[in-house]
A and B are shown apart, each in its own frame.
Chain A
């Protein structure tokens, strides 16, 4: 077992464990912190796949910007363990069973696919580097890139309009 395999299993276990802690911790602030750990381990997976640009963007945008926004909102509302609304016990069990059944069905459907002998290239390959992605983004995908700026502008206007006191 090489270093790549060890890193893969370590990052996978960290990601799944912290994702489980996100949905099981009672305090919303702890949920946010566990979700940040999940995002960091997913970024580790990106680095392992040599998608360096996406790894950095994932840390900056998700762990840096989006989760700070979540943390701000939670602290603004002063949510904590006591005010946390709880679902009925049987509804929670039913939700867990439904999710588990979905996982079971998807795993059963996908475990014998044709591509299961294919390998994902780890550690090497230059397509994830910023040189290649930038060239492609500003030639082939330049129209969606510009449209996404309009999306951001409308999201900003929408957030201000919704959040404004009337």
Chain B
């Protein structure tokens, strides 16, 4: 597949995530949109990794492992996302226990 298609698909998913963050007020939905953006980046990383692999194969190296780095980065992004979700959801639960809402507009009282 042409790499262009993957770039545009990832851009569309990423921008949908951004629109979700900008238009929703539920903290959990905003968090889910951040996960969507992370996944769009992951998809693009895998596509670029396969693109580099293809370029190395076309250069004549039949046993190349070029492009492995991209897929390992995706693996580490997933690791970081899992840790991020556990801490973030704990913060949201704590916020819900204190103010009985998950509305991010109430969070601006953190300023004072």
Contacts and interface: CB of A to CB of B under 8 A. Distances in A.
Interface string B46-77: 11111101110100000001111101101110
Interface string B36-47: 100100110011
B31 to A, nearest CB: 8
Contacts of B110: none
Contacts of A23: 16, 19-20, 23-24, 29, 33
Q: What class of interface size applies to chain A in its complex with B?
A: 35 or more
B92 A152 contact: no
A79 B81 contact: no
Nearest to A91: B23
30 contacts: A8-B5, A12-B9, A15-B13, A28-B26, A28-B28, A51-B46, A54-B46, A54-B71, A61-B78, A70-B85, A77-B93, A77-B96, A79-B102, A85-B26, A96-B19, A99-B15, A102-B15, A110-B11, A118-B55, A120-B50, A127-B65, A127-B66, A127-B71, A133-B72, A152-B82, A155-B86, A155-B87, A159-B89, A160-B90, A162-B87
Given A35-B35, A133-B72, A165-B97, 15 more contacts: A16-B9, A22-B16, A22-B33, A58-B42, A69-B89, A87-B25, A91-B23, A99-B16, A99-B19, A120-B51, A125-B57, A128-B50, A133-B68, A136-B68, A151-B83
Pairs A-B, 7 closest by C-beta atoms? A95-B22, A99-B19, A23-B20, A155-B83, A103-B15, A95-B23, A121-B54
Interface of B: 1-9, 11-13, 15-20, 22-26, 28-29, 31-33, 35-36, 39, 42-43, 46-51, 53-55, 57, 65-69, 71-72, 74-76, 78-87, 89-94, 96-97, 101-103, 105
